[in-house]
Structure 1
Amino acid sequence: MELNEDVVADVRKRLRRAQGQVGGLIQMIDEGRECREVIIQLAAVSRALDRAGFRLIASGLEQCLSDDSEQGAADREQLEKLFLTLA
């Protein structure tokens, strides 16, 4: 499966943002910041990673649905498994 360049660019952007958030989290822990603040940022990182994963899966599903071949059916099964992994 080949992904659209716009999707890849969007996922990269999301992952870079999450990477920055992880760095911020490490710094917060090193500084001894309040547990509540750390957890809020941890949740934000988790959502950012989830969104990147769901964006990839959604793009793959879109491509599979437009594919009428038998390979499309196999890809749908793989995408379903991947989707459930993220859920």
Structure 2
Amino acid sequence: MTIAPSDSALAPALRGYADHKPDHLARLHKIEGQVRGLTRMVDDDRYCIDVLTQITAATHALQEVALGLLDDHIRHCVQEAVRADQDTGETKYAELTIALRRALRL
């Protein structure tokens, strides 16, 4: 199944996550700090299980951001596409299915 290429080059000023952008960015900055902490842990020869625990926490945090973005996409981009016309809606459904398949491989 093929879908149209991403419309990021033709993007409108606001994305589906625009209302939650500050929240997503705050989480991503926190995750960035977690990853820097992981680097320090390995550099400091911390206990393997402690490092793995922190990796799990950072991974879970990233998955939560992904779920938030997915929710925003469904509620904004997909919903608007379905309302616009059937062909556009079908394209967004196909895009959503591909995104879900990627996310479930985590």
Higher helix proportion (structure 1 or 2): 1
Quote how far apart the aligned CAs of 1:15 are: 0.9
Q: Give every structure 1 segment of 4 or more consecutive aligned residues whose post-TM-superposition deviation is greater than 4 Å.
A: none
| Bigger Rg over Cα | 2
Q: Unaligned 5+ residue runs, structure 2?
A: 1-10
Q: Which whole-Å CA distance do the structure 2 matches of 1:35 and 1:12 have between them? A: 29
**Paired amino acid for 2:16:** L
Match of 1:26 in 2: 39
Q: Which whole-Å CA distance do the structure 2 matches of 1:80 and 1:10 have between them? A: 25
Q: TM-score, normalised by structure 1?
A: 0.87
Q: TM-score, normalised by structure 2?
A: 0.73
Q: Which whole-Å CA distance do the structure 1 matches of 2:100 and 2:22 have between them? A: 20
Identity value in percent: 24
User: Once superposed, what is the RMSD of the aligned Cα atoms?
Assistant: 1.6
Q: Which whole-Å CA distance do the structure 2 matches of 1:15 and 1:22 have between them? A: 10
1:53 aligns with 2:70: no
Q: Unaligned 5+ residue runs, structure 1?
A: none
Secondary structure of the equivalent of 1:33?
A: coil
Q: Report how many aligned residue pairs link the two structures.
A: 87
